[in-house]
A and B are shown apart, each in its own frame.
Chain A
């Protein structure tokens, strides 16, 4: 597999050079000598810490809070259900007498009432919290559409890499200054990032675990999502749908940069793209109409 790295992200974190040295002692052992290393390792989390990947997005905390609540409820329900089961088995083990009936009207009403109560509280919280997030963030494309700072990126998923296209300085896709990168996403901090997602071959799953973003890339479809980085840093892009043999290596790096360094990177990359632009290379020209909300 060719890991086409457009320009190796020059990040300071754990810099092991991305070389082509794949001289594993046995060529048959699929050991990856050149593990891409740009992302900052999450050393604060031990193996046993039950925690989500750190949140680097502007809106992810809403999901995290809801998820934390859902886990509190889950823990509570587990303690009640399993505690009750164990207690009953222990307390009534070989008890001399057993109740001869299948419950009274009252006990059955209790069952229905308890179930309804637990359902209303637990599922209700999840439903309402989820609905708020969907309305405000996940399915609210008015935000990136209305914001002048919004950065648009076209992501084309391949077996097994992420090809990203930026409009360049003219702000239009399909022009010679379009910047194309491989497995290398760059976004400015503090601006909405609007992603159009397609796939060239099979179904892939575009995910930014640290931004609580997950969306399928499906051949024949243009899917959209958006997110916003809360701070500078380097994180990973992962594929979460099984997309073939090297699925596990479909790893990209996302850099959240200051708006200034993002602008200067885009300017420079756009200039280089214009220089090497080949009008006859039709395979390199792609981009899809952006549907406004």
Chain B
């Protein structure tokens, strides 16, 4: 791999290793938090070298740094880069039949910024006064030098700015690539759902990441230049800035970020459920439309994060309605996945199991968010582990499993070698089950009132009885961490001596599997394929009859004999392959 190659596949590999590395780091930090909640103040095994004064036990300052860095690393340096940087960069141009991204050098620049940001994050661990500790949201005034003077907080703020710039660049690159660089015949109605997910999420990146950049830049000026954008005077006395403005800016990015992390996952789930049920995605247009609706609404719901900030009742009511509204398209999409499974021929491959696991944890996570969307029910749950369990299920577990679904699916295309199916299955199934254990335990603790971010929750009498529950949850978390060894072993083994994958091991028809060798050469396609149908042309009777297989490539022509066969005209129930591999029955076409 060359860091300086502008080939989208090389850039993708850079993000893959970077993202996996940060995933490991963020995961270890999470385990440290879980240790603290199960055995508060007890030395963490193996941490004595980092915290010699306390013989490895977490101190309150160390704890605040750990949960701050866990959140930041996971969101900005692990999951987003894995979804967009690794999978997005790799798949998007291939899946639309492009020779590469619209701006290849821009994607190298974006990776450079990501790497710089990552280096700053790592550096922040070793600077004077320690790493950032104001929470991943970095609410001022806590995040200003008056309360968090350490250089680490500044370094991390710059790192987030770098990650934001990188995200903006690949967002822009992806949007332009999808709009301008699709192969002939690759109409909007023939895009794989993965591409729809990446496209919508990239639109969100372009729209809302600059808001994060604005908030972060202003905060940085408050930290370094003595401005007071977010610093109010002593309560109700001084003039100057306003900390709530930061909260609005932050969540105007922060809530769409949830969809930035989940839309590509939704797209992959939609595709994989169709591929491995061997039938076209049910209601392809409804699903794509639902994803578009979520995208359109995503910026309009952000202020439910501020329900308890004392906001105007008028705003509170408006944001309650909008927040609840966003569950409607999500339900449409989910039902479509279920309908796709129904009457399919379900193959429980590793990517499919991961996609189903992602579906499962996302279902749980989405549903537990309902009570956070209405103001009255949000009040008792706000700021508790219920919220933590909810968003970890949706953007943590669901995105994580989707990343691994994608990785197991496209690994043969990326590296020419197939990963071990058994190990992969064991990895994703155990991960999915343990995710439910960990975050389900958090939901239970949060419902009982346990607040987030408490170094020692048992300071509060009313939380003392939750210790056994937290210990059980932590045990699940340690097992979850251990289960990741399955992936590492599989990865190392496959890269060294994995079996060479066939050109199309999953027997699906999308362009990357049917028109390019594994791994694809620089430039991807020569010549560029001409696309004839949608991504899910599976189990079509005429294809079975003519080709003897249950799939046909998006750019593959059926022999004329079959096309002209009179039998085809009789299938008036919409089995025509003409539009997107999707049934064209009724008045929908």
Chain A residues engaging chain B, CB cutoff 8 angstroms? 14, 26, 28-32, 35-37, 39-43, 45-53, 62-64, 66-67, 70-71, 73-74, 77-78, 81-82, 84-85, 88-89, 92-105, 107-108, 111-112, 114-116, 118-119, 122-123, 126-127, 129-131, 133-134, 138-139, 156, 159, 197-203, 205, 207, 209-210, 212-216, 218-224, 235-236, 238-249, 251, 288
The answer to the question of B556 belonging to the interface, with a C-beta cut-off of 8 Å to chain A, is no
B346 contacts which of A92, A235, A244, A246 (Cβ < 8 Å)? A92
Contacts of B267 in A (CB 8 A): none
24 contacts between A and B (CB under 8 A): A40-B461, A63-B379, A85-B360, A92-B277, A94-B347, A95-B346, A98-B344, A100-B280, A102-B581, A103-B583, A108-B282, A108-B283, A111-B282, A126-B377, A127-B320, A134-B316, A202-B142, A214-B383, A221-B310, A240-B383, A245-B61, A248-B453, A248-B456, A251-B459
Contacts of B462 in A (CB 8 A): 39, 41-42, 53, 209-210, 235-236
**A-B contact sample (11 more), CB < 8 A, given A51-B448, A203-B243:** A37-B461, A39-B460, A53-B448, A84-B338, A101-B280, A101-B574, A213-B379, A220-B243, A236-B461, A240-B451, A244-B142
Contacts of B277 in A (CB 8 A): 92, 98
* Residue contact B345 to A98, C-beta cutoff 8 Å: yes
Among the 9-residue stretches B233-241, B410-418, B523-531, the one with 4 or more Cβ atoms under 8 Å from chain A is B233-241
A105–B550 alpha-carbon span in the complex (Å): 24
In this complex, what residue of B is CB-closest to A49? B448
* Residue contact B371 to A207, C-beta cutoff 8 Å: no
Closest 7 CB pairs of A and B: A220-B232, A240-B383, A105-B586, A101-B583, A223-B310, A88-B341, A130-B374
Contacts of B382 in A (CB 8 A): 214, 240
Q: Which of A48, A71, A123 has the most CB of B within 10 A?
A: A123
Shortest Cβ gap from A95 to chain B (Å)? 4
Shortest Cβ gap from A114 to chain B (Å)? 6
A30–B458 alpha-carbon span in the complex (Å): 13
* Residue contact B460 to A104, C-beta cutoff 8 Å: no
Known contacts A67-B380, A222-B236; is-contact A45 B313 (Cβ 8 Å): no
The answer to the question of B348 belonging to the interface, with a C-beta cut-off of 8 Å to chain A, is yes
* Residue contact B324 to A127, C-beta cutoff 8 Å: yes
Shortest Cβ gap from A86 to chain B (Å)? 9
B313 contacts which of A42, A134, A199 (Cβ < 8 Å)? A134
* Residue contact B451 to A51, C-beta cutoff 8 Å: no
A103–B243 alpha-carbon span in the complex (Å): 51
A82–B331 alpha-carbon span in the complex (Å): 13
Total A-B contacts with CB atoms under 8 angstroms apart: 364
* Residue contact A119 to B331, C-beta cutoff 8 Å: yes
Within 8 A of A (CB), among B301-355: 308-310, 313, 316-317, 320-321, 324-325, 327-328, 331-332, 334-336, 338-339, 341-348
* Residue contact A51 to B457, C-beta cutoff 8 Å: no
Shortest Cβ gap from B373 to chain A (Å)? 7
B344 contacts which of A14, A30, A92 (Cβ < 8 Å)? A92
A28–B455 alpha-carbon span in the complex (Å): 15
The answer to the question of B536 belonging to the interface, with a C-beta cut-off of 8 Å to chain A, is yes
Contacts of A32 in B (CB 8 A): 456, 459
* Residue contact B346 to A242, C-beta cutoff 8 Å: no
* Residue contact B310 to A98, C-beta cutoff 8 Å: no
A199–B233 alpha-carbon span in the complex (Å): 10
Contacts of A36 in B (CB 8 A): 459
The answer to the question of B541 belonging to the interface, with a C-beta cut-off of 8 Å to chain A, is yes
Shortest Cβ gap from A249 to chain B (Å)? 6
Contacts of B586 in A (CB 8 A): 104-105
A29–B309 alpha-carbon span in the complex (Å): 34
State how many residues of chain B have any CB contact under 8 Å with chain A. Answer: 121
Contacts of A239 in B (CB 8 A): 451
A245 contacts which of B60, B234, B379, B451 (Cβ < 8 Å)? B60
Chain B residues engaging chain A, CB cutoff 8 angstroms? 41, 53-55, 57, 59-61, 64, 133-135, 139, 141-142, 147-148, 231-236, 238, 240, 242-244, 277-284, 286, 308-310, 313, 316-317, 320-321, 324-325, 327-328, 331-332, 334-336, 338-339, 341-348, 356, 359-360, 363-364, 367-368, 370-371, 373-377, 379-384, 444, 447-449, 451-457, 459-462, 464-469, 536, 538-541, 550, 573-575, 581-583, 585-588
* Residue contact A115 to B460, C-beta cutoff 8 Å: no
A238–B238 alpha-carbon span in the complex (Å): 27
Shortest Cβ gap from B370 to chain A (Å)? 6
Contacts of A88 in B (CB 8 A): 338, 341-342, 344, 346
* Residue contact A244 to B342, C-beta cutoff 8 Å: no
Shortest Cβ gap from A160 to chain B (Å)? 10
Contacts of B57 in A (CB 8 A): 28-29
Contacts of A251 in B (CB 8 A): 459-460
A81–B325 alpha-carbon span in the complex (Å): 19
Known contacts A53-B462, A111-B332, A238-B460; is-contact A28 B447 (Cβ 8 Å): no
B459 contacts which of A28, A35, A156, A216 (Cβ < 8 Å)? A35
Shortest Cβ gap from B33 to chain A (Å)? 13
Shortest Cβ gap from B356 to chain A (Å)? 6
Contacts of B575 in A (CB 8 A): 100-101
Contacts of A242 in B (CB 8 A): 64, 134-135, 139, 142, 452-453
* Residue contact A139 to B345, C-beta cutoff 8 Å: no
In this complex, what residue of A is CB-closest to B332? A115
* Residue contact A203 to B141, C-beta cutoff 8 Å: yes
A138 contacts which of B327, B376, B383, B538 (Cβ < 8 Å)? B376
A15–B141 alpha-carbon span in the complex (Å): 37
Q: Which of A40, A92, A122 has the most CB of B within 10 A?
A: A92
Contacts of B373 in A (CB 8 A): 123, 126
A92–B346 alpha-carbon span in the complex (Å): 6
B370 contacts which of A73, A95, A134, A246 (Cβ < 8 Å)? A73
Known contacts A88-B342, A100-B539, A209-B380; is-contact A218 B331 (Cβ 8 Å): no
* Residue contact B64 to A103, C-beta cutoff 8 Å: no
